Amino acid sequence: MNSKSTKSKLDPASFVVVANRLPVDRAERPDGTADWRPSPGGLVTAFEPIMQRRHGAWVGWHGAADEELEAFEHESLTLVPVPLSSSEVEDYYEGFSNATLWPLYHDAIAPPQFHREWWETYVKVNQRFADHVATVAAEDAVVWVQDYHLQLVPQMLRRQRPDLRIGFFLHIPFPPTELYVQLPWRQQILEGLLGADLVGFQLPGGAQNFVRLVRNRLGLETQRDRIRMPDGREVLARAYPISIDAMAFHELAATEEAAERAAEIRHDLGDPRVMFLGVDRLDYTKGLLERVQAFGEAIAEGKIDPDDAVLLQLAVPSRERVDRYRQLRDDIDRMVGRINGEIARIGRAPITYLHVSYPRLEMAAIYRAADIMVVTPLRDGMNLVAKEYVACRQRDDGALVLSEFTGAARELRQAYLVNPHDINGLKDRLVEAMNDPTRNKARRMRMMRRQVFENDIEKWASTFLDDLEALNGSRAAKQVAG
Ligand code: ADQ
């Protein structure tokens, strides 16, 4: 990978993405010097063409605390690292972002913690991100701010740079009023988001929650998805369900290599008749315990035959410095151990549970190998795993068991939808997905494949950006006219 540090002043960028993390991870060259590798993720894929068409920059933390780096070019992208100290990582990232906002926005599945020092650091760090953007953005540039870590950035940026067109997208759910109002800094966050011209959510429900809050709590005038600001601006709040690079996943899964790996994986799992699959970040919102429990009970009750079926569960550890995540990891380890201990025979465990992060090709092979994908979050903004599984089908086969509480459930209506809190219902759905006649499964999968291919990440990004430009077009027109 060719990365070169640009000590010289950067050319101003006409399109700027701002996210907590830069889209690269540091790797070491054989000679010990540092290099950067693109971190896998749909966002980079979505923005790449736009970044190349316009002069694009990405502003974000580079992942190491207490280190300041110069901006650098990486594969035609300008990357602008924002430094964070270790105490800022604790208070802004692990604290306010992941122990206050994350649980609060996910239905308070875990109790959100409110600490004033975390909030103060969140404000300080958001300001730093805004300052970096203000320095790199060209006159009239389009800036797209990503996610819950940076909800104050739109307002902070607008104060410094009223010329910019600012979009914001929230990747996680926006909670109902009753929950949101617990937040001691509820007003500041609403005002922070209202600095944007366009505020995007995964689902219409999130956009409606937001509009209702600004009307009732800030007393602003609203009309459907439009909010009138005291300064005469209009802010639009609308849903843009995110997706994946469906064709890239499909093509990866279609390769000879993936086909061979898929066969090998099934063989290594003991050539089961039915392979169930779970793929998640290890997070308490993902419903891992419920899934494993339902699978274990279905086996114990003879509804699923362990000689016939296995569950492969991949769970990449995340946020391991947050207490609640360590505790979850122990709970799942214990539950999987208990189920396997009670039911397994030598050489054959019903649940294979792995904490490994795999490259894309291996993921595509695993999806291709699986007969039944089980996605059971208690709350999830979208859930890309469900869409990745569908994209990796080579025919209208396989089945998706999907929680009603994911954003994806609104689009993938033909999945075997389930309430993951209802363990008996979940068990029944697993069994139904396993035993449903092939033609029923094919009908469901055909429609889901169409949905995923017609609504890919490229469409998501271009719809959002077209709306953002159109809005500003009309604002500019009004200014010219008025
Ligand atoms: P996440 O909560 O991280 O995303 P999700 O949408 O499922 O959840 O994305 C997880 C990604 O990690 C997928 O692309 C998946 O392939 C990858 N992954 C998981 N396990 C892996 C493994 N073992 N090895 C390699 N890759 C693995 C947040 C929100 C979601 C929203 C997305 C995008 O919580 O609701 O869908 O952002 O907006």
- Ligand 1 interacting residues, C-beta cut-off 6 A: 171-172, 242, 279, 281, 314, 316, 356-358, 363, 380-385, 388
Average pLDDT, the chain: 93
Largest Cα–Cα separation, the chain: 79
Question: Three-state SS for 454?
Answer: helix
Ligand 1 center from residue 350 Cα (angstroms): 25
Cα dist from 458 to 57, 333, 364, whole Å = 18, 38, 20
Please report where in the chains the tokens 């975390």 appear, as a residue.
118
pLDDT at 196: 98
> Which of ligand 1's atoms lies nearest the C-alpha of 356?
23
Rg (CA), the chain: 23
List pLDDT tens digits, range 143-160: 999 999 999 999 999 999
Cβ-based burial of 354 (10 A; exposed 0-12, middle 13-18, buried ≥19)? exposed
Closest-CA residue, ligand 1 atom 16, reads 385
pLDDT at 42: 61
**If we measure between CA atoms, which residue out of 167, 99, 129 comes closest to residue 466?**
167
List pLDDT tens digits, range 10-26: 789 999 999 999 998 88
Confidence of residue 475 (pLDDT cuts 50, 70, 90): low
Q: What is the pTM of this model?
A: 0.95
What six digits make up the tokens of 361? Answer: 């090709």
Decide: 89 and 122 in contact? Cβ < 8 Å.
Answer: no
Q: Does the active-site annotation cover 171? A: yes
Cα dist from 56 to 44, 325, 394, whole Å = 12, 35, 35
List pLDDT tens digits, range 256-309: 999 999 999 999 999 999 999 999 999 999 999 999 999 999 999 999 999 999
List pLDDT tens digits, range 173-196: 999 999 999 999 999 999 999 999
Mean pLDDT of 220-224: 97
pLDDT at 422: 98
Ligand 1 center from residue 155 Cα (angstroms): 28
pLDDT at 10: 76
Which of 107, 252, 279, 319 for mutating ligand 1's site (highest number of atoms within 8 Å of CB)?
279
Dihedral sign, Cα of residue 167, residue 171, residue 177, residue 181: negative
Mean pLDDT of 386-397: 98
- Lowest model confidence (mean pLDDT) among 46-55, 346-355, 440-449: 46-55
List pLDDT tens digits, range 201-213: 999 999 999 999 9
Neighbours of 254 (CB within 10 A): 13
Which of 383, 456, 457 for mutating ligand 1's site (highest number of atoms within 8 Å of CB)?
383
Please report where in the chains the tokens 């050539």 appear, as a residue.
271
